[in-house]
Amino acid sequence: MACTERLALFRYYVNLLESQEPHDINEFIKKLNTQFRNLNLKKDIKYITFYRGMTYLASLHGVLYSLKSLLDLMCTLWAQLIDENYRIRGFHKKKVNGKMISGGRLINWLRNSAPSSFQNAEKMASILEENSLTWITKAVIYRDTLVHTGQIEGILYLGVLLKNGKKEYSFEDIIMPEMPDGTLVKNYSRMLVDKTHSLFTDVMVLLPNVNTRAQVDSIIVFARAKAEVNKANK
């Protein structure tokens, strides 16, 4: 149940980010049209102003924090379904094939120490390694950076290119927030949801006593519904 609740919380923050971004854009436009109208700017210089709206930024924090927490809980669940005597308390980093990646400790355990009765150990390890290399490790780095420094280096906040003598700014003038790799923040968050659902489905069906995708799908559907209810009650 704790894992389902955390999955719902993760989805809730993604939904919140998508719903709150327009609010921040509107607030930004209000400020632009009161503080940056009819400017007398030098023509040979580009002027860009940025707006760090707290609503969508707080939601991004929530997305990344809840994702890491969800991975920690799922890691513990997966390990105990395989071997009830094995204790692991998080999706910890460890070197795998020479690369430090999130979930490396679990991956190495699957390959080197998991019970021989668990015949899907290598397949599960490979799925986790591929996902960690392609998206999980980066997301965890973003989360860790927020925790320790307060911001992600290279993130692009809401912005606008100021124009000489412009009387009014609108939605079309806004530069949308982007992750350091150029992905729109809202698209990045939605990608995390899709990747997480796919990962959980692929892994859970390999585990002992979880032998149908319908079981896994029901957990995801419940979490989605709970997130939507929480959003509606906000």
* Chain segment 176-197, per-residue pLDDT in tens: 999 999 999 999 999 999 999 9
Judge whether 183 lies within some domain.
Answer: yes
Judge whether 146 lies within some domain.
Answer: no
User: What local confidence, expressed as pLDDT, does residue 100 receive?
Assistant: 98
The mean per-residue pLDDT over the stretch 130-140 comes to 98
Summarised one tens digit per residue, pLDDT across range 78-127 is: 998 899 888 888 999 999 999 999 999 999 999 999 999 999 999 999 99
Summarised one tens digit per residue, pLDDT across range 9-59 is: 999 999 999 998 999 999 999 999 999 988 888 888 899 999 988 888 899
User: What local confidence, expressed as pLDDT, does residue 104 receive?
Assistant: 97
Give the count of alpha carbons within 13 A of 202, CB side only. 16
- Name the helix (H) or strand (E) containing 160: strand 158-162
Per-residue confidence band for 7, with pLDDT thresholds at 50, 70 and 90: confident
Judge whether 86 lies within some domain.
Answer: no
Judge whether 133 lies within some domain.
Answer: no
Single pTM value for the model: 0.86
Judge whether 69 lies within some domain.
Answer: yes
Structure tokens at 232: 């509606």
For the chain, what is the mean pLDDT? 88
Judge whether 67 lies within some domain.
Answer: yes
Instruction: Enumerate the H helices of 52-120 as residue ranges.
Output: 54-82, 104-112
Task: Look up residue 73 and give its amino acid.
Answer: L
Give the count of alpha carbons within 13 A of 24, CB side only. 23
Judge whether 54 lies within some domain.
Answer: yes
Percentage of the chain lying above the pLDDT 70 cut? 89
Q: Of the segments 43-57, 69-83, 132-146, 214-228, which one has the largest average pLDDT value?
A: 132-146
Domain limits for position 55: 2-81+152-232
Judge whether 134 lies within some domain.
Answer: no
Per-residue confidence band for 211, with pLDDT thresholds at 50, 70 and 90: low
User: What local confidence, expressed as pLDDT, does residue 212 receive?
Assistant: 54
Contact 16, 53 (CB under 8 A): no
Overall domain count for the chain:
1
pLDDT of residue 128 exceeding 80: yes
